[in-house]
Amino acid sequence: MTILEYYKKMSEDVKIHNLYSFCGTIQNISELGDKPLGNVYWFRNTNFRYNTTFIEGYKKFKTIAGLKRKEWPKNVQYNQEQQKTDTVRMRQAKIFRKSTVDGEELYLPNPKGIFIEKIINNKELKEKDIWILAYILLLDAYFNVKVNYIINRSKEIIDILTRQGLTENDIIEAAKEIIENEHKDLEKLLSYNFLYYETFFMPYNKKGYNINFIPEYVKASEEEKKELYSYIKHNWKNGEKDNKCIIAKKFQRIPNMGNYDKTMLIDDAKTLYISKYLINIGVVSFNKFIDIILDSYESIENFNRPLVKSIIYDNRNVFQEIYYNVLNINEENNIEEVISENEVEAFSEVDGPEPRMDIIDDELDEVKNYKSSTLKKEKAKSKSGYLCELGDRNKCQYFTSKASNKNFLEAHHLVQMEFSNDFENSIDVIANLIALCPNCHRKLHHAKDKDRIGDIEYLYAKRKEQLKAKGINISLTELKNYYNIED
């Protein structure tokens, strides 16, 4: 079977055709019960097609900042708030945060949002300069409730493709090739490997199907690929009809809700290309982190590097927070601090909810906040009697810490700090800190769902009321969602 015959067979099956051509925010393909695969990066939808759309989106969303929901302008046609569909994306991108005043839900800009205002007002910045700034701003976003979504999703895409016969170099060179030819129209780009890699990167082996396009494409001859391209180009130019061409449908010429276009395709290629250099980066300095990003971008685009770099360093508080979050420095490197027992014993929190301290610009306040956070971790360990809080459920093993001469424990935020932007009040509180032995800590993060779900349910039941008293209102279902537990 030639690659064209394989492609036609896929396209002529309505369920598979819809699976690979549908994009946007469609929840699932009704005939299959699975989400469509047209979007490679799931944060792209009708309102947020491109990375830079978040800059434009900020301008629109800012118009309702500080307004009560009943004061939001409504879409006449649908009789709903115009910005309603943008609230999740803006919050997960950490551009805006929710706040409650007199029982009314308000949205206010975070430091990222305030920085975006500077981008909008800077007339020196060109399109390609803004693109890389937008990319960095989105690096620690938790789209689809996935921490550091862009890098982790990029890793997933590369891993899936390499399991189907491609090398990492094949993928990255294909991305680079299409980026370098972004000036060409979409008709020409329909022949580029990257378009096929991203459209069919995910195999579908469910419901009696065995769809594995990439291995067939890899082994196809150049003549076969030209034949496939001619077929797709013909359908694309003449309008996709009768479900005969997945790619012509996905990239249809007449703009329609959920369609992919050339800019989205190039954005995917750039995002994957740069993210490749951040996968498994390890712990590097802030300067090195920024240089890795700018070096990789400079290899595919001409932009004003000195200007971009000066803007990043002039707004270091915003970008350093992203750096900390991407490298997960605070949580994963849970190293014991040398703090006296008297300091720990004397430390106490205020009663009730505490204000968020992750939204600060003052360097001195940052130092104070770090010390307070460290004391809270040590206090949580002290309150546990230096025993793992999952000791009743698991067989914990201890060793004596050289620093404290106590059982070595690690402090874990039950509601992870990566999702702090979902909450009005601080979640860096003792009620949310769990003292765990290293094994139980790793288990919560890395074990299969069936091995950790019981521990999460146990800890939630143990801390639910304490969390509520600190103004942290979260259901068990929401907590499981943060851990990507699938019921």
Higher pLDDT, 414 or 64: 414
Q: How many CB atoms lie within 10 A of CB 7?
A: 25
Contact, 435 vs 389, CB < 8 A?
yes
Fill in the DSSP letter of residue 483.
T
Query: At 58, is the secondary structure helix, strand, or coil?
Result: helix
Strand partners, 204: 211
Is the pLDDT reported for residue 394 higher than 80?
yes
- List pLDDT tens digits, range 269-292: 999 999 999 998 988 999 999 999
Helices (H), 277-399: 286-298, 305-314, 316-327, 329-332, 341-346, 363-383
Contact, 14 vs 31, CB < 8 A?
yes
Main-chain dihedrals φ then ψ at residue 77, nearest 5 degrees? -65, -40
- List pLDDT tens digits, range 62-95: 988 888 888 888 776 666 666 777 888 999 999 9
Which pLDDT belongs to residue 212? 96
Q: Determine the average pLDDT of the residues in 254-263.
A: 68
Contact, 379 vs 430, CB < 8 A?
yes
- Compute, in degrees rounded to 10, the torsion defined by CA atoms 456, 461, 464, 465: -160
Measure the CA–CA gap between 98 and 65, rounded to whole angstroms: 10
Cα 19 to Cα 124, 210, 417, 481: the distances in Å are 43, 13, 35, 24
Measure the CA–CA gap between 92 and 378, rounded to whole angstroms: 30
Q: Determine the average pLDDT of the residues in 41-62.
A: 87
Contact, 3 vs 224, CB < 8 A?
yes
Measure the CA–CA gap between 54 and 47, rounded to whole angstroms: 9
Which pLDDT belongs to residue 116? 96
Tokens representing 168 are: 């990492």
- Spell out the residues 6+ positions from residue 288 whose beta carbon is closer than 8 angstroms to its own: none
Contact, 109 vs 73, CB < 8 A?
no
Q: Which of 75-84, 94-103, 124-133 has the lowest mean pLDDT?
A: 75-84
